[in-house]
Amino acid sequence: MHQSHFLITDFSNLAHQKWQITNDSVMGGRSDSGFQINAEGHAVFLGRVSLENNGGFASVKNHEPLNLTGYRSIRITLKGDGKRYSFRLQTGTAGQPDRWSYEYRFDTKNGDREIVDLPLNEFRAVFRGRSVPDAPALNASQIMRYGFLISDKQEGPFRLEIEKIEAV
């Protein structure tokens, strides 16, 4: 039996967390982003999405494995900027990540603190932004990475403040 809430992170000890930025520069794009902790101890994913050179995305991900067996949703306490983001989970086994990720897209309110629940059974498989309809269902016991992405041709500055991420 698992606990009803599992704190994935509240960013209180970032030194032990493995967050990595990946922007469209890996394919010639010009988007730029960063990930930092603010005075309140919340993570801030911010930057600018550029559509130049066929770009258009910025992401940050954590390389800590998770076993979310028995949980129904990811719950994120955040403050957004009115834009749409994706929360992504990548599955696989040690040294063998799956080629696709599972994502859930959510809209944010501009400047308001909110709690968003992302049902695990509604995450969909994607590969390079395209749906993978024949992929197996998300295996919540084999999550290798998780993180945030902004894309969908949302050019311009963005800012997502994340207070905590939980499994419920």
Backbone angles phi, psi at 147, to 5 degrees: 175, -170
pLDDT value at residue 27: 83
pLDDT value at residue 16: 59
Whether 160 and 81 have beta carbons less than 8 Å apart is answered as yes
Q: Tell me the pLDDT of the chain (168 aa) as tens digits.
A: 467 899 999 988 765 578 999 999 888 899 999 999 999 999 999 999 999 998 899 999 998 899 999 999 999 999 999 999 999 999 987 667 788 899 999 999 999 999 999 999 999 999 988 999 999 999 999 999 999 999 988 999 999 999 999 999
pLDDT value at residue 12: 81
Whether 71 and 139 have beta carbons less than 8 Å apart is answered as no
3-state secondary structure of 13: coil
pLDDT value at residue 88: 98
pLDDT value at residue 92: 86
Where are the alpha helices (H) located in 3-151, listed in sequence order?
A: none
Residues linked to residue 73 through DSSP beta bridges, in sequence order:
119
Structurally, what CATH architecture does the domain formed by 6-167 represent? Sandwich (2.60)
Distance CA(47)–CA(29), nearest Å, equals: 14
Whether 51 and 136 have beta carbons less than 8 Å apart is answered as no
- Which residue ranges make up each domain of the chain? 6-167
pLDDT value at residue 60: 97
